[in-house]
Amino acid sequence: MRWPEKVKIKEVGPRDGLQNEKKIIPSDTKIGWIDSLSETGLSYIEVTSFVNPKWIPQLADSLEVAKGIRRNPGVTYAALVPNLKGLEGALEANMDEIAVFMSTSESHNQKNINKSIQDTYPVLHETVKLALQEGKKVRGYLSTVFGCPYEGRVSMDQVMTVCDRLFEMGIDELSLGDTIGVANPRQVEEVLENCLKNFKGANFALHFHDTRGMALANILKALEMGFDTFDSALGGLGGCPYAPGASGNVATDDLVHMLEKMGIDTGIEQDKLLKAGSFLQQKMHSRLPSHQMAVYNAAKA
């Protein structure tokens, strides 16, 4: 077996990680944390989401945070947007990349976006079109690819249909989400085999949640199949406000540890990553749930 020599890790903690936190985190804490992440060797950080603050109060300060961070020229700074209104904010903040999102299942799409899948397509299409006209790269997030909290397993035909529609819009990359952490390696293989039959593998990223402790196993299966781009959140932060019981993303620090031990280059300095995690722990007055942060905390005790 030939593993990829290098893997790209996309840090989504400041957006997907924090959006589920109930206690509002001060803007200067978010800015300080993102600035510390920018010095770790990460090449991609999703900073925030320009959504209606009524839906995600934790990210109501999106413009302030996006404008307040210190930009590292080696880092791509991205933001999630639901529509043209959200795109306006992201463009004002001069985000490097825009991300749009939808679900493969009708129920989750209605909960998350308040629209049917068919009604979501034109909204995303005009958002992607304008973002591309403004010279921005665009990625898509596709939720509930491996299972929906309301409908269970989603058909492969449905997954491929939505993938096709998103690529037709002109997105550069599509992140396949295991929103509630139900995927297993055999299912991952099935989904990715279908992706490879219909699209270019290089256009995909994988976004695993670790609800059942399966995220690293699922990433190993994706690596075996040649996929080399993964979303993660430092410390295992995260969850989905519209997926009951969903826990955090796969932890960036655990993922980096595994890959580096396997001899796969991430470009990320683990010591600086753990210090960035320690900074957030101190500000939040709580421990991050990842394995590497637990080891780090024990060593510092």
Catalytic residue status for 240: yes
In this predicted structure, what is the pLDDT of residue 22? Answer: 86
Residue 141 is classified by DSSP as E
Surface-to-core class of residue 268, CB atoms within 10 Å of its CB (0-12 exposed, 13-18 middle, 19+ buried): buried
User: Which residue in the list 148, 163, 195, 240 is annotated as catalytic?
Assistant: 240
Which of 47, 48, 6, 12 lies closest to 268 in space, CA to CA?
6
| Number of other CB atoms surrounding residue 83 within 10 Å | 18
3-state secondary structure at position 215: helix
In this predicted structure, what is the pLDDT of residue 246? Answer: 57
Which of 179, 84, 172 lies closest to 124 in space, CA to CA?
84
Surface-to-core class of residue 157, CB atoms within 10 Å of its CB (0-12 exposed, 13-18 middle, 19+ buried): exposed
Q: What is the pLDDT along the chain (301 residues), one digit of tens a residue?
A: 678 999 999 999 999 999 988 899 999 999 999 999 999 999 999 999 999 999 899 999 999 999 999 999 999 999 999 999 999 999 999 999 999 999 999 999 999 899 999 999 999 999 999 999 999 999 999 999 999 999 999 999 999 999 999 999 999 999 999 999 999 999 999 999 999 999 999 999 999 999 999 999 999 999 999 999 999 999 999 865 555 555 689 999 999 999 999 999 999 999 999 999 999 999 999 999 999 999 999 998 8
3-state secondary structure at position 298: helix
Per residue in 214-250, is it b (16+ CB within 10 Å) or e — as a string? bbbebbbbbbbeebbbbbbbbbbbbbbebbeebbbbb
| Domain extents in the chain | 8-300
List alpha helices for the chain, DSSP H: 27-37, 62-68, 84-92, 106-113, 117-133, 156-169, 185-198, 215-224, 252-261, 270-284, 291-300
3-state secondary structure at position 142: strand
CATH code for the structural domain at 8-300: 3.20.20.70
Cβ neighbours of residue 143 closer than 8 Å, sequence gap 6 or more: 101, 102, 103, 104, 108, 109, 112, 177, 179, 240
Locus of tokens 């959006």: 19
* Element holding 78 (H helix, E strand): strand 76-80
In this predicted structure, what is the pLDDT of residue 247? Answer: 66
In this predicted structure, what is the pLDDT of residue 65? Answer: 98
* Reported pTM: 0.96
In this predicted structure, what is the pLDDT of residue 239? Answer: 63
Angle at 61 between CA 57 and CA 62, to 5 degrees: 105
Residue 13 is classified by DSSP as I
